Amino acid sequence: MTTGGTVAGVLLAAGDSDRFGERDKLLATLDGEPLVRHAARTLAGADIGPVAAVVDPGSSGVRDALAGLDIAVVENYEAAAGQATSVRRGVAWARERADAVVFALGDMPRVHAETVDRVVGAYRDGRESALAAGYEERRGNPVLFDARHFDALAALEGDTGGRGVFEAADDAAVVETGDTGVRVDVDTPGDLDGLR
């Protein structure tokens, strides 16, 4: 396992908003900014290497919401087929640039950049090859995967993320962060109201 190399960040921001209603939830505002911008700023502000956002090319609003941030945009033309397609796109982008990747979710606006740093720090200390941010011993997001898991992530299909890969890793662990945001995502308008 390489622990001294580059860790890239990938923001998964191409999902649908079925439970949110007609609006794209990633563009719903919190504290005056779109949810996706909050999540993107977390990765951009962390002490990691290059960062990319995987977006649905049909959602120009998400791309616009990321303007001005030091984040590459990776289009996922298969976004409608499920989250696995975005994970695959993210891995393909990261594979050429990093020894590990941190995946964050565009609908989790309350994660702190320091939380990403804590997970990455645990990885660089030579601990596990799959690490998830946790709060009160419960697994949350973001999640870091060493390059040894890239092939498994690239093989995912359907509307699933990296959970199965994480659970299959023989050295996966949860890093306690003290950050309640790692367990807070926005699926419905009520979820958003609860953050205001």
Predicted confidence at residue 55, as pLDDT, reads 96
Rounded to 5 degrees, φ, ψ at 77 are -75, -10
CATH number of 7-195: 3.90.550.10
Q: Where are the domains of the chain?
A: 7-195
This prediction has a pTM of 0.93
Q: What is the pLDDT of residues 152-184, one digit of tens each?
A: 999 999 888 899 999 999 999 999 999 999 999
pLDDT digits (tens, 9 = 90+) for 116-142: 999 999 999 987 999 999 999 899 999
State residue 189's pLDDT score: 64
- CA dist 36 and 107 (Å) reads 6
% the chain with pLDDT above 70:
90
